[in-house]
Amino acid sequence: MLKVRNGSAVNDKGKLNMPAGGKRSPDMAVDIDRLTAYSALLRIETAGAYSNVVLNGKIAKFDPGHISFVRELVYGVVKNKFYLDYIISQLVKGDASILEPKVLVALRLGLYQLIFMNSVPDYAAVNETVGIAKGKTGKEAGLINRLLRTFIRKRNELSFPENIRKRGKRLVNMYSVDASVVELWKEQFGYDKAEEILKNSNLTPPLTLRVNEMKISKHELKKTLESQGFAVDEPGNDLPVLNVKGRNVLDTYEYGRGFFSVQDAASVIAVKALCPSENDNIVDVCAAPGGKSFCAAEMMRGTGKIFAFDFYSKKVLNMEKECERLGLKNVETAQRDAVCPDSGLFGRMDKVICDVPCTGLGVFRRKPEIKYKPVVGSGRELAQKQYEILEKSSLYLRNGGKIMYSTCTINEIENRDVVRKFLRNNGNFTLDEEVQLLPHFDHDGFFYCILTKHFV
């Protein structure tokens, strides 16, 4: 029988159903899959680096045999760090943070397999982890071996995060999230809703593709990818998106020819709500990596004009390359600070995309590192910046034009409160639509609203 722990499918033993690891190093000393995962986790822990960037680099370096297994190990440990440390603290009879990172990472790696991974026998989880530890931690490998075996013997005597009586502390450790996030969502939504959001934020997201319908229909792309062995699901909506399972979809001919891009459905929903129309003039003030601009350009069938601005020159160059891949001739990129708008475009735009920097509380499942960052001041200082960008961006609009204000966070201070302040200070704007999407299998957490400028 399967049950769910922290948003993951697990069996009666509490272990995730996953394949075992793979090939070994040339001297047969260690499993390359686990070595890749350990190396990535240690880098993430010590350098504070983003897991997706580090993992892709380590996979390229070590060439593991089972990439999906490696990804599950790395993302599983990163997503459940507090959960695992809660157990480790009992094993060491002190705070887990007293351990050296190289030891702590090895213990997390071993425990994750023992607790969450069904297909990995206990002996394999311990022996393979200790084998890696011998080469990375030296004499500390003995400590790691002893603690993992102690967990196996005493697992029924230990306290798990699910058993914590205080609800706030229980949610922090069950879902591995900074206490400030739990407190924020408790205040705004109540404990029950907060726990639902946390549970869904721990789900593994699908790989969602936005179909470039200027080049191919959604149905045609689905058939083409399925013929290459990919599992393709068409969500029950009228969006130009597909969910895909399979390796190396970005290496396909179809990707190279610009038939699709990777983009979460939530962003596509928001852009569609703005209703980009043929021959529109649009400004995207914080455009990089460009997904919303490109989505709008495709909906406009390559007509009109989109000015895609971003503060960072390297990101602007990347957007230019992406425009070329997608075959978009109606997008013009430029480096520009969102709080220093281009006065030459004032009053001329039909639509504005104002997707502002935010706390990112809606994308935990894609960027799990964000879970551990404190939400300083509940996001109030950031909300001031967001409001300034919205205020400046509204200057681009003609009378009757519409602006989309959006974030990838779940925080009323950054979302609803910013919009209400803008409406109070700008009587010639009205609110057409306001939506807070919460994390769901088909999309991330995301906020957007549509505001219309009226003649005064």
- CATH classification at residue 417: 3.40.50.150
Transcribe 289-343 into DSSP letters. Answer: T-HHHHHHHHHTTT-SEEEEEES-HHHHHHHHHHHHHHT--SEEEEE--TTS--G
Q: What is the pLDDT of residue 30?
A: 76
Q: What is the pLDDT of residue 16?
A: 41
User: In this structure, is residue 208 part of a structural domain?
Assistant: no
Q: What is the pLDDT of residue 29?
A: 60
Instruction: Identify the domain boundary among 154, 189, 218.
Output: 154
Q: What is the pLDDT of residue 182?
A: 98
Statement to judge: residues 434 and 301 lie in one domain: yes
User: In this structure, is residue 27 part of a structural domain?
Assistant: no
CB 362 within 8 A of CB 439: yes
Cis peptide, bond prior to residue 289, ω within 30 of zero: yes
Residue for token digits 């891009």?
261
User: In this structure, is residue 138 part of a structural domain?
Assistant: yes
Statement to judge: residues 371 and 410 lie in one domain: yes
Residues of the chain with pLDDT under 50: 1-21, 26-28
Condensed to tens digits (0 to 9), the pLDDT of residues 18-62 reads 444 456 554 446 789 999 999 999 999 999 888 999 999 999 999
User: In this structure, is residue 373 part of a structural domain?
Assistant: yes
Instruction: Identify the domain boundary among 96, 123, 154.
Output: 154
Condensed to tens digits (0 to 9), the pLDDT of residues 242-290 reads 999 998 999 999 999 999 999 999 999 999 999 999 999 999 999 999 9
User: In this structure, is residue 366 part of a structural domain?
Assistant: yes
Q: Could you tell me the residue range of the domain that residue 189 belongs to?
A: 164-201
Statement to judge: residues 145 and 171 lie in one domain: no
What's the number of domains the chain is made of? 3
User: In this structure, is residue 248 part of a structural domain?
Assistant: no
Statement to judge: residues 42 and 183 lie in one domain: no
CA distances from 449 to 103, 269, 273 (A): 47, 11, 9
Compute the distance between CA of residue 131 and CA of residue 33 in angstroms, rounded to an integer: 12
CB 268 within 8 A of CB 239: yes
Centroid of chain to Cα 144: 31
Statement to judge: residues 196 and 109 lie in one domain: no
Centroid of chain to Cα 182: 18
Phi, psi of 351 (to 5 degrees): -140, 150
CB 411 within 8 A of CB 184: yes
Nearest to 116 by CA among 161, 66, 163: 161
Centroid of chain to Cα 354: 20
- Determine the residue type at 434: E
What's the pTM value of the predicted model, to 2 decimals? 0.90
CA distances from 419 to 50, 82, 359, 425 (A): 31, 35, 16, 10
Statement to judge: residues 126 and 188 lie in one domain: no
Statement to judge: residues 92 and 144 lie in one domain: yes
Compute the distance between CA of residue 122 and CA of residue 14 in angstroms, rounded to an integer: 13
CB 389 within 8 A of CB 361: no
CATH of the domain at 150: 1.10.940.10
User: In this structure, is residue 299 part of a structural domain?
Assistant: yes
Statement to judge: residues 141 and 170 lie in one domain: no
Residue for token digits 């925080």?
411
Statement to judge: residues 124 and 183 lie in one domain: no
Statement to judge: residues 38 and 133 lie in one domain: yes
User: In this structure, is residue 380 part of a structural domain?
Assistant: yes
Statement to judge: residues 345 and 433 lie in one domain: yes
